[in-house]
Amino acid sequence: MKASGEQTRRYLELVARRGPKKPVLRNAVMAFLVGGAICVVGQLILNILVARGMTPQSAAPPTSALMVALGSLLTGIGLYDEIGRVGGMGAALPITGFANSIVAAAMEYKREGFILGVGARMFTVAGPVIVYGLLAAVLAGLVTLLLRGA
């Protein structure tokens, strides 16, 4: 039995009315705290690198790399999914979350071997970020080029 469009609309309305509400405020506060804490760690690393003589600009790439390493480590020891459960987007959006999406997939699919498992499926979650991140970068580059003139 497949419901008609009208039946679907009315049923989904009922579902929305009766359903549990998302704790939006709590989620936002936790995302702010968790995301903020991750950024504070990143800033600390950057400050240490600068204090040791790097320029802020040259210190940025190694800071990102260290944050990726940290996200990977926390994923490997089974902590980052817990951070994500509490922090939501606050844990997913920083670069540590990007690392988590790749390492989690690599860990999960290792059981299917290094070629068809890790190799083929490591970017199942991160893939879209990379594809559309690259696309956005190219578009932004083109726009910059047009505005500045060749």
Partner 1 sequence: MAVAVAGKRVGQATVAFERPPALVGAASVVGPREGRGPLGREFDVVKDDDLLGEASWEKAEARMLVEACRTALRKANLQAHDVDYLLAGDLLNQLVSASCAARDLSLPYLGLFGACATIVEALALAAMLIDGGFARFVLAASSSHHNAAERQFRFPTEFATQRPPTAQWTVTAAAAIVVAAEGAGPVLTHATVGRVVDMGAQDVNDMGAAMAPAAADTVWQHLRDLGRQPRDCGLILSGDLGHHGARLARELLGRTGVDIGSAYADCGALVFGAEQDAHAGGSGSGCAAAVFASHVLPRLQRGELDAALVVGTGALFSPTVVQQGETIPCVAHAVAVRGPGAYGAGPGVGPERGDARA
Q: Which of 121, 62, 71, 73 is nearest to 95 (CA)?
A: 71
Q: Within 48-77, which residues bind partner 1 (CB under 8 A)?
A: 75
Q: How far apart are CA 89 and CA 33, in angstroms?
A: 11
Q: Within 5-34, which residues bind partner 1 (CB under 8 A)?
A: 5, 7-8, 11-12, 14-15, 18-23, 27
In the complex, minimum distance from the CB of residue 24 to partner 1, in angstroms, rounded to a whole number: 11
CA end-to-end distance (rounded Å), the chain: 61
Spell out a b/e string for 12-22, using b for 16 or more CB atoms within 10 Å of the CB, else e.
Answer: eeeeeeeeeee
In the complex, minimum distance from the CB of residue 71 to partner 1, in angstroms, rounded to a whole number: 9
Of 22 and 148, the one with the shorter C-beta distance to partner 1 is 22
In the complex, minimum distance from the CB of residue 29 to partner 1, in angstroms, rounded to a whole number: 13
In three-state secondary structure terms, 88 is coil
Q: Which of 80, 120, 122, 130 is nearest to 100 (CA)?
A: 80
Footprint on this chain of partner 1 (rule: CB under 8 A)? 1-3, 5, 7-8, 11-12, 14-15, 18-23, 27, 75, 78, 80-81, 83-89, 91-92, 97, 100-101, 103-105, 107-109, 111, 124-125
